[in-house]
A and B are shown apart, each in its own frame.
Chain A
């Protein structure tokens, strides 16, 4: 095998080895979003409009992140959180502008998913706290979508 062929073969091997490793890294938030949207599916049938926009990122175990979001009194909202890791335990909770827990209900019993519902008592800013409680991975990708009716 001459040198250029050797180099090309090495390059090809490196590509074949690294592509599968790098591709999931890009795909993970999208996967997390897919699960968030899957969690939303039954609620769409109940008349919830799901937003196209969403939040996403990655968290270490026991790490929380807060999202400030505008909600309007008169609407009902569901927030759906998804992760690409089936065995990860995640949660989302909603607090009002004074820091009081404001959600009407929340669940996190299904793999890949968690959700919280709120019927805001006032129009204004609310805090959405997302958390990874446990995960086999060092960093866990997450996505949060919401719907209203």
Chain B
């Protein structure tokens, strides 16, 4: 079956009719070759994906899982656009790590995001401190074991100033913590880790873009799919979590960001300022000693 499109591409029917038997023989030879190497024919058939798909009725079922980008994906673009002063964006972590579990989960995500900022700022001591904080927050939430090797590697790599390795370990720490929480039937808390990281990452990005506004920089905030993902996770949380003051506040405030970032061409300096104010206040609430 896969032979047909391959044969047609090699020897269009029009040419076969016009060219006589020699071309027919060539076509048959190509066809036989294709049959003999059906593996190759399959590859050719697959070489031509549709140039256009109808997104309103996708040809395939949509996978529910959303992979949240790591802050570095955005920070790297900002680095290419200019030379942001990451030292100014980097913040000391003052929270002791005590509090209700939803707050600790949000804080853990936000501290991991801070780790990515510390890497951008190339501050080894801050990175080490963040590594230790990640471990103590993971302990507070009952998943210490899952990140011990990651945090050790973060601290060791900070001594060596191996920034690439630290980025990998921070991403891995977030992933391992979430996985450990899922295994403990705490999937919704795991979602809060991702949300905390996204909020701190977005606050940092808006701070950089605010200081040196460019259309390309502002465009990085056009993330409606991620906002919808977080909103739907918050809406689907159990009533105990929804009643948590901090979670309730984030759930109430997050929809305010959607209209500000919805249209790529409308990401003005004013909108960036507004997104920054919203995320700054939410991160402040996450980092407050009592929620």
Interface residues of A, Cβ cutoff 8 Å to B: 49-55, 57, 63-70, 72-75, 89, 91, 93, 95, 97-101, 106, 108-109, 122-125, 127, 129-131, 133-134, 146, 148-149
Contact = CB atoms under 8 A, between A and B. Distances in A.
B63 A57 contact: yes
Interface of B: 42-43, 45-46, 49-55, 58-63, 65-70, 72-74, 76-77, 80-81, 164, 167-168, 171-172, 174-175, 216, 219-220, 222-226, 264
A133 B59 contact: no
Contact of B224 (A65, A91, A125): A125
Contacts, number: 125
A108 B80 contact: no
B219 A106 contact: no
A94 to B, nearest CB: 9
Contact of B60 (A65, A106, A109, A134): A65
Q: Which 10 residue pairs are nearest across A and B when measured between Cβ atoms? A: A64-B60, A74-B77, A52-B175, A125-B225, A99-B55, A93-B49, A99-B53, A66-B60, A67-B63, A123-B219
Contacts of A52: 168, 171-172, 174-175
A97 B222 contact: no
A99 B81 CA distance: 28
A21 B262 CA distance: 49
Main secondary structure of the interface of B (DSSP, over half): helix
Contacts of A99: 52-55
A71 B53 CA distance: 18
Contacts of A124: 222-225, 264
A67 B61 CA distance: 9
A69 B67 contact: yes
Given A73-B219, A122-B264, 16 more contacts: A49-B168, A51-B67, A52-B172, A53-B68, A55-B63, A57-B63, A64-B59, A65-B63, A66-B59, A66-B63, A69-B67, A70-B225, A72-B69, A72-B77, A99-B52, A108-B46
B63 A73 contact: no
Contacts of A89: 42-43, 46
9 contacts: A51-B67, A52-B172, A69-B67, A73-B219, A73-B220, A89-B46, A99-B55, A100-B51, A127-B55
